[in-house]
Amino acid sequence: AQTVTQSQPEMSVQEAETVTLSCTYDTSESNYYLFWYKQPPSRQMILVIRQEAYKQQNATENRFSVNFQKAAKSFSLKISDSQLGDTAMYFCAEGQGAQKLVFGQGTRLTINP
Amino acid sequence: DSGVTQTPKHLITATGQRVTLRCSPRSGDLSVYWYQQSLDQGLQFLIQYYNGEERAKGNILERFSAQQFPDLHSELNLSSLELGDSALYFCASSVEAAWGDSPLHFGNGTRLTVT
């Protein structure tokens, strides 16, 4: 069965610092997709970044980048130059591009001024 | 704005009652997904429809049902409600049946409170 684990329930950093959120997953599939979603207080789920498992290169989107370690089944999110607007719940998710997208329990990130 | 519209935003009802949640997908998206997010939990996949047909089922209770209509909007029906059904219910849509190349776009959710 698919499982996604986020071991950090809460994190807090100062504005402009770099922060890394951890995620590990377990799947028996050889090809799959990994995602980070952000859920601000507005509660909307916003796609931050995604990674296709067959691609070796780590995905990047502006200040957001991932460290994808396929053998270790690890998919961490790095936020550089953090901003107040980055304050949100962050969810890691994994799926095979078919139907069932499995989410972790989330990490509550607070950016302090 | 994701383009996915969910109504109502909030719903308060009593145990034993039945409610209907509505979702309009992004223009052009054929696939609709329903997720449940209980307090401080991750999202749990409930069910998926593609172009009017059920495509996949997750942890959906028998008291819950859904459908997708010809105009592609979807409704999630929750009956015999229990206190534990209180949650945020998200709808998401994607272009294809398989979302790998077309990521999910989420609505703002419907907050259901059962008293």
What would you report as the CA-atom Rg of chain A, rounded to the nearest whole angstrom?
A: 13
pLDDT of B100 reads 63
pLDDT of B59 reads 83
pLDDT exceeds cutoff 90 at A15: yes
Nearest chain B Cα distance for residue A113, angstroms:
25
pLDDT exceeds cutoff 70 at B36: yes
- Residue A32: pLDDT band by 50, 70, 90 thresholds? confident
Nearest chain B Cα distance for residue A88, angstroms:
13
Q: Say which residue the tokens 């999110």 belong to.
A: A77
Beta-ladder partners of A71: none
Distance spanning both ends of chain B, measured CA to CA: 31
Q: Which residues of B touch A (CB under 8 A)?
A: 2, 33, 40-45, 48, 55-56, 58, 88, 90, 92, 97-101, 103-109
pLDDT exceeds cutoff 70 at A83: yes
Longest dimension (CA), chain B: 41
Distance between CA atoms of residues B18 and A56, nearest Å: 48
Phi, psi of A85 (to 5 degrees): -70, -5
Closest in A4, A35, A44 to B2, CB measured:
A44
Distance between CA atoms of residues A103 and A26, nearest Å: 12
Nearest chain A Cα distance for residue B39, angstroms:
10
Q: Give just the sign of the alpha carbon dihedral B79, B99, B3, A20.
A: positive
The mean of the pLDDT values for chain B is: 92
Mean pLDDT of B14-32: 96
Separation in Å, CA A78 to CA A58, A64, B54, B84: 11, 6, 37, 35
Closest in B2, B41, B104 to A101, CB measured:
B104
Asked if B55's CB is within 8 angstroms of A99's CB, the reply is: yes
**Top-confidence range, A74-83, A97-106, B94-103:** A74-83
Long-range Cβ contacts of A84-87 (<8 Å, 24+ apart)? A84/A15, A84/A111, A84/A113, A85/A40, A85/A111, A86/A38, A86/A111, A87/A40, A87/A41, A87/A111
pLDDT digits (tens, 9 = 90+) for A33-51: 899 999 998 888 999 999 9
